[in-house]
Amino acid sequence: MESALDWHQAKALLEWYVELGVTDAVAEAPIDRYELPPEAPKTVAKPKAAAPEAQPLSVVPDTPRIDWVAEAKTLAARADSLEALAEALQAFEGSPLKKGARNFVFADGNPAARVMIVGEGPDEEEDREGLPFVGRAGHLLDAMFAAIDMSRAAPDAQQSIYITGAVPWRRPGDRAPTEAEMDMFRPFLMRHIELADPDIVVPMGNAACLALLGRQGIARIRGQWAEVADRPVLPMFHPSHLHRMPAAKREAWADLLTLQARLREMAP
């Protein structure tokens, strides 16, 4: 329906409504503001395609664990010479030590010697040289045995010494060998003694005594005779210990005299 108001009248009326606070215009048809909106039409989901039949997973067999101690015993027993033992030991894959070492350290001196020295294993300098007992500890070892007329360089078996270690590879940070490492390399060490066939074995330091005798506490057991592989064993201080504790050189000298006396008793 057309309004009877002209433009100016309509504008004045609108301004008056605004002044009164009117905010909504009223339409000719009523509006129900509480009426719910009509529901949206529901969509029908398409049926899902059937999942492909699951294929059985292939079973990966467990990698058999190797008994490295048993493997070491087998390899050591097969060695019929010191050369064969060195090859078997160098090829042995049971210990990760050789991956971090520079050189394989097997032995030094005369293999026919009456005395076999067993040390802990190579340190940094011995790893670099590929020989046991070099550097400061080696010089003191040589001086100790020179005092009883014995040397690693002597060609005569009666006056020479033969030197090896409980472990042939350097350990990280020159730490002591672990019990597992001792167990793994012990078969090679025992076979080494059998093949070299010394009259007397001298383990020097705790690690060597633990490897051969299953005992440590070198201050208590040094100078006390024991037996390994049907041979007399005389534990002694390691030369490195004597550098740290010079007062222990008196006991070391007594042990050297004990060794010398036993060699004379066993002389043919």
**What is the CATH classification number for the domain harbouring 173?**
3.40.470.10
Predicted pLDDT of residue 180? 94
Domain ranges, residue 216:
68-266
Residue type for 226, please? A
Low-confidence ranges of the chain (pLDDT < 70): 1-5, 7-8, 12-13, 15-63, 268
Could you give the angle at the alpha carbon of 195 between the alpha carbons of 207 and 169, nearest 5°? 40
Predicted pLDDT of residue 65? 86
For the chain, give percent helix, strand, coil, nearest 5: 45, 10, 45
Beta-carbon neighbour count of residue 229 at 10 Å?
Answer: 15
Phi, psi of 252 (to 5 degrees): -65, -40
- Render pLDDT for 17-42 as a digit per residue (tens, 0 to 9): 666 666 666 666 666 666 666 666 66
Residue 132 is assigned to a structural domain of this protein: yes
209 in Cβ contact with 216 (< 8 Å):
yes
Distance CA 123, CA 103 (A): 11
Domain count, the chain: 1
Predicted pLDDT of residue 171? 95
Predicted pLDDT of residue 110? 97
Predicted pLDDT of residue 267? 79
Residue 105 is assigned to a structural domain of this protein: yes
List, in order, residues 6 or more apart from 55 with CB less than 8 Å away. Answer: none
Query: Quick one: CA torsion of 267, 149, 202, 168, rounded to 10 degrees?
Result: -120
Question: How far are the Cα atoms of 30, 35, 36, 42, 225 from residue 39, in angstroms, in the given order?
Answer: 22, 12, 9, 8, 101
Residue 31 is assigned to a structural domain of this protein: no
Predicted pLDDT of residue 184? 96
Instruction: Classify strands 200-203 and 115-119 as parallel, antiparallel or unpaired.
Output: parallel
The pair of structure tokens assigned to 200 is 């007397």
Predicted pLDDT of residue 235? 98
Residue 108 is assigned to a structural domain of this protein: yes
- Render pLDDT for 81-131 as a digit per residue (tens, 0 to 9): 999 999 999 999 999 999 999 999 999 999 999 999 999 999 999 999 999
Cα 193 → chain centroid: 26
Distance CA 147, CA 112 (A): 20
- Which residue, among 190, 169, 202, has the nearest Cα to 92 in the 3D structure? 169
Question: How far are the Cα atoms of 12, 92, 105, 135, 209 from residue 79, in angstroms, in the given order?
Answer: 121, 13, 18, 31, 24
188 in Cβ contact with 144 (< 8 Å):
no
Residue 32 is assigned to a structural domain of this protein: no
Distance CA 243, CA 246 (A): 6
E-assigned strand segments in 166-260: 200-203, 226-228, 231-233
